[in-house]
């Protein structure tokens, strides 16, 4: 019999599914009891007998010996015969891509966030010349400027500010307190998390006789279909043309995209990435957390940069880089490994200098002051 959901872990909004049904949904192979009912998705540590979890990173494979999950989604190459849990086999679904397979199961069991039903709040301020599509939700204290066009099925949460002449295509979601500046363009299914700013002025100043004079920023921002903008992320408008984020690219929280940047398709820019003005990326680029990119450079297709890398020059396609300044990742690992040995290297150098001074019958050079 299936365990009843507890108050600490509420029931899934949908009926339970058997492991066999889950496997059929993702094209996987069942190892173990395919008849067990699964109600919800949880982490390996927290999962219980009627929960499903996953492992795609090899560093977490050791958790498979202790998890109490009713089912775990695993990579098809895993040698499942070696996995035992208190002497009992673990129920698993083997699939080619465990992470994506688990994502599909999460959608099946839990679905996406449920948005409010379509309506226009009487507390919203919608300009008379604005045009709204059918089936939109416009929350309280939303401001929509003159000549703005909002597509069908858009969800605009309370406190969002949309300035004049914005064009937003269908099924976009703007969470509370997003700001979209004038003349920006959003494609279909764009998501902007709370506090995102799209189209603020770029950082442009002309210094003359010691005074910094603001340069008008007359361009805009274009977000193509299926882009996502993280919480408190800022995308600056171009000085004259467009700052552009191409289709499918995902920006994490607290990312800054400078003016005139061109970001390619299906990039992953993790939280706190900063890209200076007029830089560009190819397609399928991955920049890990806190990567910094200098202005006016190009990063080629499928480049991957490790966390906190500093990219100051063009990168050819397909490179894995790390460190500051960014270098080939294997070389960066060797360089930073040596940093840990610098105190010992310095000690040995001082000892060698002292020994050499004795051999040459000359006074040793004054050793550096220890920190």
Domain count, the chain: 3
Report d(CA 269, CA 274) in Å as an integer. Answer: 9
> Do 318 and 182 belong to one domain?
yes
> Do 97 and 223 belong to one domain?
no
DSSP notation for 242-255:
EEEE-TT-EE-TT-
> Do 322 and 360 belong to one domain?
no
At 2 the pLDDT is 42
Among 89, 109, 129, give the residue marking a domain's end.
109
> Do 350 and 263 belong to one domain?
no
CATH number of the domain at 49, please.
3.40.1390.10
Q: What is the pLDDT along the chain (371 residues), one digit of tens a residue?
A: 344 343 344 444 567 899 999 999 999 999 999 999 999 999 999 999 999 999 988 888 888 888 889 999 998 887 766 666 666 778 999 999 999 999 999 999 999 999 999 999 999 999 999 999 999 999 999 999 999 999 999 999 999 999 999 999 999 999 999 999 999 999 999 999 999 999 999 999 999 999 999 999 999 999 999 999 999 999 999 999 999 999 999 999 999 999 999 999 999 999 999 999 999 999 999 999 999 999 999 999 999 999 999 999 999 999 999 999 999 999 988 888 888 888 989 999 999 998 898 888 655 555 555 55
Q: Is residue 167 part of a domain?
A: no
> Do 366 and 231 belong to one domain?
no
> Do 203 and 303 belong to one domain?
yes
**Would you say 246 and 225 are in contact if contact means Cβ atoms under 8 Å apart?**
no
At 169 the pLDDT is 98
- Residues 90-125 as b/e (b if ≥16 CB within 10 A, e otherwise) read bbbbbbebbeebbebbeebbeeeeeeeeeeebeebe
Q: Is residue 289 part of a domain?
A: yes
Q: What is the CA radius of gyration of the chain?
A: 27
> Do 78 and 31 belong to one domain?
yes
Q: Is residue 313 part of a domain?
A: yes
CATH number of the domain at 194, please.
2.160.10.10
Among 90, 109, 128, give the residue marking a domain's end.
109
At 341 the pLDDT is 87
Q: Which residues are catalytic?
A: 259
Q: Name the phi and psi angles at 305, rounded to 5.
A: -120, 130
> Do 184 and 327 belong to one domain?
yes
Q: Is residue 6 part of a domain?
A: no
Domain that holds residue 69: 17-109
């Amino acid at each position: 019999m299936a365990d009843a959901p507890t108050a600490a872990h509420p029931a899934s909004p949908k009926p339970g599914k058997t492991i066999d049904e889950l496997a059929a949904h993702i094209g996987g192979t069942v190892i173990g009891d395919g008849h067990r009912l699964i109600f919800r998705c949880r982490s390996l540590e927290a999962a219980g007998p009627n929960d499903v979890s996953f492992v795609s990173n090899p560093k977490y494979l050791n958790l498979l010996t202790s998890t109490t999950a009713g089912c775990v989604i695993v990579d098809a190459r895993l040698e499942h015969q070696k996995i035992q849990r208190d002497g009992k086999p673990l129920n698993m679904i083997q699939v080619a891509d465990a992470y994506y397979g688990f994502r599909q199961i999460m959608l099946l069991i839990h679905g996406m966030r449920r948005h409010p039903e379509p309506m226009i709040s009487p507390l919203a301020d919608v300009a008379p010349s604005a045009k709204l599509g059918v089936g939109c939700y416009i929350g309280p204290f939303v401001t929509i400027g003159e000549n703005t066009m909002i597509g069908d099925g858009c969800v605009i949460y309370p406190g969002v500010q949309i300035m004049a002449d914005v064009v937003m295509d269908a099924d976009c979601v703007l969470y509370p307190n997003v700001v979209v500046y004038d003349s920006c363009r959003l494609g279909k299914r764009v998501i902007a998390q709370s506090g995102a700013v799209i189209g603020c002025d770029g950082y442009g100043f002309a210094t003359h006789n010691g005074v910094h004079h603001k340069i008008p920023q007359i361009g805009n921002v274009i977000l193509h279909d299926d882009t996502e903008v993280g919480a408190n992320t800022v995308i600056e408008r171009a000085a004259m043309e467009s700052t552009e984020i191409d289709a499918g690219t995902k920006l994490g929280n607290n990312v800054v995209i400078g003016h005139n940047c061109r970001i390619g398709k299906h990039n992953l820019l993790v939280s706190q990435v900063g890209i200076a003005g007029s830089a560009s990326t190819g397609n399928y680029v991955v920049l890990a957390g806190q990567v910094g990119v200098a202005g006016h450079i190009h990063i080629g297709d499928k480049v991957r940069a490790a966390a906190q890398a500093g990219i100051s020059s063009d990168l050819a396609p397909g490179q894995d880089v790390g460190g500051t300044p960014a270098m080939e990742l294997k070389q960066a690992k060797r360089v930073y490994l040596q940093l840990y040995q610098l105190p010992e290297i310095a000690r040995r150098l001082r000892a060698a200098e002292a020994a050499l001074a004795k051999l040459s019958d000359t006074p040793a050079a004054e050793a550096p002051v220890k920190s």
